[in-house]
Structure 1
């Protein structure tokens, strides 16, 4: 418990720095991660080689360096979320089409929201929470480090987002099914074989994927909406909502999962450096 308090206080103090100062820290962190400790460079290179076999080694190295330049910004921006004001959140993430959510809410529906580890998905939690008065449920995979898990859940829920551990998803969504709400699934995480047995072709590789968002959508009939968070410039983002499936109950099994993963891949290919390439995405392989 003491360790949690110390770490939380340290994050809070750093978060009080102005943005220009945290970006100075980011510049230093880039040098450390890229040149000094070579943070997960082998993983990043392997992931990029598998995803873009058509590119030259020089082109893949350029993407890798751009990713390592973006990653420290993502880290310091996540820390800044600890004390950032609501006004600053709105100023730094523009919502392109809020009416896409409002039309579903106006129809009295819940929304199954899907997104990816792309752009600043953490800031997206704050922005979505400030966009609507309807409940915002964030479905998350608990971290092994309990102290970090507790701290970041507290940060993510500052503007009333409701943090829902993955294994409690069904129970929580059923509790809200009779009122407009949105539940957000970060759909590009790596499941264990006990959690899923469905593989797709994603970025040129056989990829084990979660199917929970599809199961919830088909059970409830809620539309599936993708939240695309793009980076405009340093510290500034945009969010665009795209309804991928209006009537999930009419879709064939696995087709919803296929649709939103293909949509994710198309976005990644546009600006690949904004995806989390240091994640060991392909550590599961199909069983013989």
Structure 2
């Protein structure tokens, strides 16, 4: 079995490469049409993770009707499938001379000023919009970044995907064993991009997300506080046609500011989680509702949260 694993992995790698070649040979308009059809198939016929998606949408948008939930779910599937096509086409279609055709960034001056400064910068995003294009587009502008991601079990696919990410300067740090490299990155004034909407288990920081308690990784906030790093929450929306994006910043805080009042892991975690929630509400059909974001906190955590005083002002994203 061990001897056959490299053969199985390489066969899977060749199958994926062949599939990507087919996508690259198709116009993006055709890719979008097929994404819509396949999205309908995944939702109505195959019912892939349908129960999880329905439960998540009821939690996030209890005021909306089942019909509205279905429209969001169908839009999500079309978005996810089209996202794969955009990633496949990106190296051939977006470059340093035509990026303005594909990307708008209303807060460009604010972010460029921060990225050019000698201090570290942390950008917290989520599974919203085309999150894979965020680091790719930053690198295209001459701002390299580092992202923490799980190493794929298939080494051929892992190397190929990381080659795509690193083509413009987006470097991947393994999920485990990177603490020393992250510390060095922040000390050197680098840029760290993190996903802040992943379930972190019971021994995590529990904050409100769409009105329900959700587990978040303490390390996300800890990097900001320990590295004294300006931190932004943002995403890359698709705007209109495929391969047209808008990089949006929901909020920016700086631990060095005199009025910085988010000096603890719970307060900072609440701030960036609320920022991500606000971004999701703008385009809920571009969010990844497939994963189980909400799970019951342990009983002890429930008691601690019930005893904590509420502070709505501290949870609002800073401008």
Query: Bigger CA drift: 121-130 or 87-96?
Result: 87-96
Q: Which residue of 1 aligns with 2:179?
A: 170
Matched, 1:255 2:263: no
What is residue 94 of structure 1 aligned with on the other side? 104
CA contact under 8 A between 1:15 and 1:79: conserved in structure 2? Answer: yes
Distance 2:108 2:177 in 1: 28
Alignment of 1:43 with 2:52, yes or no, is yes
Residue 199 of structure 1 corresponds to: 206
- Secondary structure of the residue that 2:233 maps to in structure 1? strand
Contact 1:244 1:260 in 2 (8 A): no
1:221: how far off? 0.4
**How many residues of Structure 1 are paired with residues of Structure 2 in the alignment?**
284
Select the residue among 279, 285, 288 that pairs with 2:296.
285
1:270 is aligned to: 282
Distance 1:242 1:268, change over 3 A: closer
SS in structure 2 at match of 1:118: coil
Aligned to 2:221: 214
Q: CA 1:73/1:12 → structure 2, altered by over 3 Å: closer, same or farther?
A: closer
**Does the Cα contact within 8 Å between 1:15 and 1:82 map onto a contact in 2?**
no
CA separation of 1:70/1:252 partners in 2, compared to 1, >3 Å: closer, same or farther?
A: same
Mark the runs of 5 or more structure 2 residues left unpaired by the alignment. Answer: 1-5, 300-319
Q: CA deviation at 1:37?
A: 1.2
Q: Cα 1:100–1:173, aligned 2, differ >3 Å: closer, same or farther?
A: farther
Cα pair 1:153 1:163 within 8 Å, conserved: yes
Contact 2:36-2:77 at 8 Å conserved across structures: no
Please state whether the residue corresponding to 1:159 is helix, strand or coil: coil
Partner of 2:245: 237
Question: Residues 33, 80 of structure 1: CA spacing in aligned structure 2 closer, same or farther, 3 A cutoff?
Answer: farther
Greater relative contact order, per chain length (Cα 8 Å cut-off, separation 6+): 1
Aligned to 1:104: 114
Task: Give the SS at the match of 2:167.
Answer: coil
CA distance in 2, matches of 1:155, 1:8: 14
- Name the residue aligned to 2:302: none
Q: Which residue of 1 aligns with 2:78?
A: 69
The two structures, once aligned, show a CA RMSD in angstroms of 2.5
1: distance between equivalents of 2:184 and 2:19?
34
Structure 1 residues 46 and 184, CA gap change in structure 2 (3 angstroms): same
Larger Rg: 2
Q: Does the CA contact (< 8 Å) of 2:128 and 2:288 recur in 1?
A: yes
- Residues 181-206 of structure 1: CA distance to partner in whole angstroms, max 9, x if unpaired? 2110011122234xx42211212322
TM-score with structure 1 setting the length: 0.87
Question: Is 1:225 matched up with 2:235?
Answer: no
TM-score (norm 2): 0.79
Distance 1:266 1:105, change over 3 A: closer
How far, CA to CA, are the matches of 2:231 and 2:191 in structure 1? 10
